[in-house]
Amino acid sequence: MVVTRFSRLQHLLLLQPRFQQSRVLRRPLTRTPTLIRSVMGSSSSSSSKLLFRQLFEKESSTYTYLLADISHPDKPALLIDPVDKTVDRDLKLINELGLKLVYAMNTHVHADHVTGTGLLKTKVPGVKSVISKASGSKADKFVEHGEKVSIGDIHLEVRATPGHTAGCVTYVTGEGADRPQPRMAFTGDAVLIRGCGRTDFQGGCADQLYESVHSQIFTLPKDTLIYPAHDYKGFEVSTVGEEMQHNPRLTKDKETFKTIMTNLNLAYPKMIDVALPANMVCGLQDLLPSEAN
């Protein structure tokens, strides 16, 4: 009987540390992403007006971002970097959430997929396509550095971040106590999680990309959330502070960075011959450039 009691006690003692350890290990792996989405959604008092969703297109590993002001009667919304192949999925979600799509925005002219902005315009009357003026592309609304794009009481600040392409911009949520906290930066290909976009075509320039990132993105508060246009390793979100410390390219001095970018020897993008002409006319590849507006 003594042996039995001891064995049971020993068994419980042995189990307890394992249980505690499993709780600690699980938390950063499965609960942190949920917490991030919750903080940036309707549960935070400082961002109760913002609805945010991160969507993924697996073929080109592209992230599309949905933002909406749910405190406004119309629930106006915008999409950042939509993909043509997932337009129906995105619209289904928008309809389910009772949102009104106002803008379909691009961070730059993509070379690896066809933007969904053109299709969205054909399916949702009144939607306006948005891209930087420097991109040379067709759109309803052209933005430049320092401008703001607003939906209800939420706005995105436009920051010019050329280097991956000549017309890249980063969209950043507004600053202030009544704005979503922490701030959010939609960096396109300028900053990827532990990486950055290539600089060997489309007017790319490693020197320019380095300056753009360090002057326009790395000057944001360190807890600013970074949401890139792509990820190929399973990451969803980073922060300015993380990338300033751990990005294997952008933490180097400028000359080392330029050497790294010159010697990447990347393959020619397989979709570029289709994507670039289509994206220069807002994704409506069957229309003449003069008709895309």
**pLDDT tens sequence across 76-101:** 999 999 999 999 999 999 999 999 99
**CA distances in angstroms from 69 to 10, 151, 176, 245, listed in the order given:** 56, 6, 16, 33
- Tell me the two tokens of residue 172: 């950043």
pLDDT digits (tens, 9 = 90+) for 107-157: 999 999 999 999 999 999 999 999 999 999 999 999 999 999 999 999 999
In the predicted structure, residue 10 carries a pLDDT above the cut 70: no
The pLDDT tens digits for 152-178 are 999 999 999 999 999 999 999 999 988
Distances (CA, A) of 103 to 19, 48, 261: 48, 21, 33
Q: Are 250 and 192 in contact (CB under 8 A)?
A: no
* Assigned token pair, 95: 């309809």
Does 27 have pLDDT greater than 50?
no
Confirm if 280 and 136 have CB atoms less than 8 A apart. Answer: yes
For 58-67, write each residue's pLDDT tens digit. Answer: 999 999 999 9
User: Model confidence over 230-249: pLDDT tens digits?
Assistant: 999 999 999 999 999 999 99
Q: How many H helices and E strands in the chain?
A: 8, 12
For 4, 97, 198, 199, 239, the CA distances from 257, given in Å and listed in that order, are 66, 43, 12, 11, 20
Neighbours of 123 (CB within 10 A): 13
Residue-level pLDDT at 47: 61
CA distances from 140 to 137, 207, 254 (A): 10, 31, 36
Residue 283: the pLDDT is 78
Which of 3-12, 35-44, 123-132 has the least mean pLDDT?
A: 35-44
The stretch 251-259 carries a mean pLDDT of: 98
Mean of the per-residue pLDDT values of the chain? 85
- Extract the tokens encoding 260: 């790294």
pLDDT grade for 190, boundaries at 50, 70 and 90: very high
- Specify the higher pLDDT residue, 176 or 213: 213
Q: What is the CA radius of gyration of the chain?
A: 22
Strand partners, 131: 142
Single-letter amino acid, residue 243: E
Whether residue 3 is predicted with pLDDT greater than 90 in this model: the reply is no
- Supply 27's token pair: 């938390």
Rounded CA-CA distance 63/230 in Å is 6
Beta strands in 110-250 (DSSP E): 128-132, 141-143, 148-151, 154-160, 169-173, 184-188, 225-228, 238-239
Percent of the chain with pLDDT over 70: 81
Q: What share of the chain is helix, strand, coil (3-state, %, to 5)?
A: 35, 25, 40
Whether residue 44 is predicted with pLDDT greater than 50 in this model: the reply is no
pLDDT (mean) for 202-208: 96
